[in-house]
């Protein structure tokens, strides 16, 4: 019975692992490369 | 006293909508808030829409009667995951494509009036059916709680909805949802734990219910003894329904940019399990100790708030329930109204309209929908019960395969979309009807929805293979693959130091928020799991 209760809360945690994982993946895949290249460009300009 | 709260709530609701209506300058304001919503409003509207009368009344009652793990462990988990898919996948893709409603996508992807018409009809019927049945259920409960006549409750809600939707469109829905979330938070995080505390805390609640109702009360099957097949069916039904329901997908369209969408959705998705588990896990199990035998069980939380919480605070509970009804109903009905004005009238007939007339048509359609809702709710037509049962499944079998196929399959054709929507919806309705009438028997783990979904996907693939995509199909598919919501933010930041600094800040904030919310989830859900599981070890 305890395992049944724990399964419910495990599912709730799993939901957030997936959701936060997707958000971090989007940031890494779609934004991080641009941020790196733009920062390099800006530091190049300032030098 | 409940009567007074009912009228104050409705007046407050319409007053806020009237104030907000000043912000409506054009059709984009009406449909998508001019895409100006900050993240916290996306959170507000998402969480308020998610938490419905079904949650605070129906599921709380079921949990009270047969056990707090029965629906939440897999059914609700499916709904949470479905919400996540609706926001991060379908909603985000559609927003990037500048869709203002969901059938907008069908119109652009297929450029075929039949596909648009069928998609819109599926949506309008499904949303009205699902919304009306919630309103009818809520009307009965409020009638019992407030002492008002059922017809008075429905007319009050109906007129408030009509004024509210016609005046303030999506602006009104988002702003009032955000305000109503405050009441829901009070129910979730104050009133429900309060009830648990009065009932002696988790250890006593578990011991008492186990002794009186048996150990099964704290199992997945509950005292009803549901099997794993039933749980699997519940999980899939809810994940498929929520992933594609316009009431949730359209919540992210007003977001001002990708970061507002992501931050709003992250917090909103965490609030979905929090706002559900506190009332219907913590609250309803506490009520089983405080007052067993409440009939009908749907009233369990209302009884708890009025009889066990000091009067002023208990009223928050009633207002929260009304807020949950109103926010879900307004989200469902406004999407149905948009379907009529934008998808059927504007997209199919393509009239030459001035901005003023466009807005007027949108408002007239909202009034039209509200009148239908009011009439159907008052008549309590038998048909609406069936429509409501079909509604969720219709989106899963009628829309989801076409939406995913449209987004991901290059060779998706108009014939494939039509075949999938018609075969999926029709097969589900026929099989469901046969099963309900006893003309067909299915194993418990096979829901008619799965057969409908299988037929919908099979029809899509077969019709897709037998037909060829048009040039317009292929061009729009290329546009889908070229378009990312992030591109719009990145384009603004390129070569603009101010915008670039803003982007960097948003990037960092979203990253920190995602990690922080994960920690919060582990701590809160871990603690709850520990408190309720320990007495059972």
- In chain B, which residue's Cα lies nearest the Cα of A29? B486
Q: What integer pLDDT is reported at residue B380 of this predicted model?
A: 67
Of A15, A27, A35, the CB nearest to B273: A15
Q: Does B511 sit within 8 Å of A24, measured CB to CB?
A: yes
Which pLDDT tens digits describe chain B residue by residue (537 residues)?
Answer: 668 888 888 888 888 888 988 888 888 888 888 899 999 999 999 998 888 777 777 788 888 999 999 888 898 899 999 999 999 999 999 999 999 888 889 889 988 888 888 888 878 888 888 778 778 877 877 787 778 888 888 888 888 888 888 888 888 888 888 888 888 888 888 889 999 999 999 999 999 999 999 989 999 998 888 888 888 888 888 898 889 888 889 989 999 999 999 999 999 999 999 988 888 889 999 999 999 988 888 888 888 988 898 877 777 777 888 888 887 788 788 888 888 888 888 777 777 778 788 888 888 888 888 888 888 888 866 655 566 667 777 788 888 999 999 999 999 999 999 999 999 988 988 898 888 888 988 887 788 888 999 999 999 999 999 999 999 999 999 999 999 999 988 998 888 888 889 999 999 999 999 999 999 999 999 999 999 999 988
Backbone torsion region of residue B148, taken as left when φ is above 0, otherwise alpha when ψ lies between -120 and 50, otherwise beta = beta
Q: Does A13 sit within 8 Å of B525, measured CB to CB?
A: yes
The alpha-carbon gap from A10 to the nearest alpha carbon of chain B, in Å, equals: 8
Of A9, A10, A15, the CB nearest to B80: A15
Residues of chain B with Cβ-Cβ distance to A2 below 8 Å are: 533-534, 536-537
| Cα dihedral B98, B103, B109, B115 in deg (nearest 10) | -170
Residues of chain B with Cβ-Cβ distance to A42 below 8 Å are: 497, 500
Q: What integer pLDDT is reported at residue B385 of this predicted model?
A: 57
| A11 interface with B at CB cutoff 8 Å | yes
- In chain B, which residue's Cα lies nearest the Cα of A6? B529
Q: Cα-flanking dihedrals φ and ψ of residue B255, to 5°?
A: -55, 140
B20 and B36 Cβ atoms separated by less than 8 Å: no
**pTM metric for this prediction:** 0.90
Of A16, A22, A26, the CB nearest to B517: A16
Q: What integer pLDDT is reported at residue B397 of this predicted model?
A: 86
B490 and A31 Cβ atoms separated by less than 8 Å: yes
Q: Does A7 sit within 8 Å of B504, measured CB to CB?
A: no
Q: Would you give the DSSP letter of residue A31?
A: I
B424 and B244 Cβ atoms separated by less than 8 Å: no
| Residue A18 pLDDT exceeds 90 | yes
Q: Does A19 sit within 8 Å of B273, measured CB to CB?
A: no
| A9 interface with B at CB cutoff 8 Å | yes
Looking at per-residue pLDDT, the higher value among A2 and B89 belongs to B89
B255, β-bridge pairs: B37
| Residue B457: Cβ within 10 Å count | 19
What value does the mean pLDDT of chain A take? 89
Residues of chain A with Cβ-Cβ distance to B510 below 8 Å are: 23, 27
Please, what sign has the CA dihedral across residues A27, A28, A34, A39?
Answer: positive
Quote the CA–CA distance of A45 and B427 in Å, as a whole number: 64
ipTM of predicted assembly, 2 dp? 0.93
The closest of B124, B129, B233 to B451, measured between CA atoms, is: B233
Q: What integer pLDDT is reported at residue B379 of this predicted model?
A: 80
Of A5, A35, A42, the CB nearest to B507: A35
B164 and B172 Cβ atoms separated by less than 8 Å: yes
Quote the CA–CA distance of B533 and B26 in Å, as a whole number: 54
Quote the CA–CA distance of B163 and B204 in Å, as a whole number: 48
Q: What integer pLDDT is reported at residue B528 of this predicted model?
A: 94
Helices (H) and strands (E) in chain B, counts: 27, 0
Residues of chain A with Cβ-Cβ distance to B77 below 8 Å are: 8, 11-12, 15
Q: What integer pLDDT is reported at residue B286 of this predicted model?
A: 94
- Is the N-terminal amide bond of B207 cis, ω within 30° of 0? no
């Amino acid at each position: 019975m305890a395992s049944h209760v724990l399964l419910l809360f495990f599912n709730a945690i799993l939901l957030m692992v997936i959701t936060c994982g997707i958000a971090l993946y989007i940031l890494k895949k779609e934004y991080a490369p641009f941020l790196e290249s733009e920062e390099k460009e800006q530091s190049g300009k300032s030098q | 006293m409940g009567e007074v709260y009912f009228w104050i709530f409705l007046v407050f609701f319409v007053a806020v909508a009237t104030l907000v209506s000043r912000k409506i300058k054009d059709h984009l304001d009406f449909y998508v808030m001019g895409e100006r919503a900050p993240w916290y409003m996306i959170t507000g509207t998402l969480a308020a829409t998610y938490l419905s009368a079904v949650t605070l009344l129906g599921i709380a009652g079921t949990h009270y009667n047969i056990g707090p793990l029965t629906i939440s462990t897999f059914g609700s988990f499916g709904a949470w995951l479905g919400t996540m898919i609706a926001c991060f996948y379908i909603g985000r893709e559609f927003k990037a494509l500048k869709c203002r409603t969901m059938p907008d996508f069908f119109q652009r992807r297929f450029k075929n009036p039949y596909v648009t018409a069928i998609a819109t009809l599926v949506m309008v019927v499904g949303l009205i059916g699902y919304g009306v049945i919630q309103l009818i259920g809520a009307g009965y409960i409020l009638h019992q709680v407030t002492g008002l006549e059922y017809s008075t409750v429905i007319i009050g809600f109906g007129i408030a909805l009509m004024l509210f939707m016609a005046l303030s469109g999506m602006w009104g829905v988002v702003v009032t949802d955000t305000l109503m979330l405050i009441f829901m938070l009070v129910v979730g995080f104050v009133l429900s734990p309060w009830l648990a505390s009065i009932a002696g805390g988790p250890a006593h609640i578990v011991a008492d219910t186990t002794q009186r109702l048996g150990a099964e009360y704290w199992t997945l099957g509950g005292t009803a003894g549901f099997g794993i097949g039933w749980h699997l069916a519940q999980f899939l039904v809810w994940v498929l329904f929520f992933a594609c329901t316009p009431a949730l997908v359209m919540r992210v369209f007003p977001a001002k940019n990708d970061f507002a969408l992501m931050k709003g959705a992250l917090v909103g998705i965490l609030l979905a399990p929090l706002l559900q588990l506190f009332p219907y896990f913590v609250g309803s199990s506490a009520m089983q100790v405080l007052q067993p035998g409440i009939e009908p069980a749907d009233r369990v939380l209302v009884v708890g708030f009025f009889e066990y919480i000091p009067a002023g605070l208990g009223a928050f509970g009633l207002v929260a329930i009304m807020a949950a009804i109103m926010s879900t109903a307004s989200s469902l009905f406004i999407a149905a109204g948009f379907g009529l004005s934008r998808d059927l009238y504007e997209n199919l007939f393509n009239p030459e309209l001035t901005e003023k007339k466009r807005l007027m048509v949108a408002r007239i359609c909202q009034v039209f929908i509200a009148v239908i809702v009011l009439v159907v709710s008052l008549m309590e037509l038998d048909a609406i019960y069936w429509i409501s049962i079909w509604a969720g499944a219709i989106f899963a079998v009628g829309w989801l395969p076409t939406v995913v196929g449209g987004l991901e399959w290059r060779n998706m054709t108009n014939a494939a979309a039509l075949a999938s929507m018609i075969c999926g919806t029709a097969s589900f309705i026929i099989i469901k009807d046969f099963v309900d009438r006893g003309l067909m028997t299915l194993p418990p783990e096979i829901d008619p929805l799965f057969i409908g979904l299988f037929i919908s996907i099979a029809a899509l693939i077969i019709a897709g293979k037998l037909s060829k995509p048009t040039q317009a199909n292929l061009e729009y598919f290329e546009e889908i693959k070229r378009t990312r919501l992030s591109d719009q933010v990145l384009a603004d930041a390129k070569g603009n130091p101010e915008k670039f600094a803003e982007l960097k800040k948003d990037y960092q904030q979203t990253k920190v928020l995602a990690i922080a919310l994960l920690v919060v989830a582990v701590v809160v859900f871990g603690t709850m799991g520990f408190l309720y599981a320990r007495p059972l070890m």
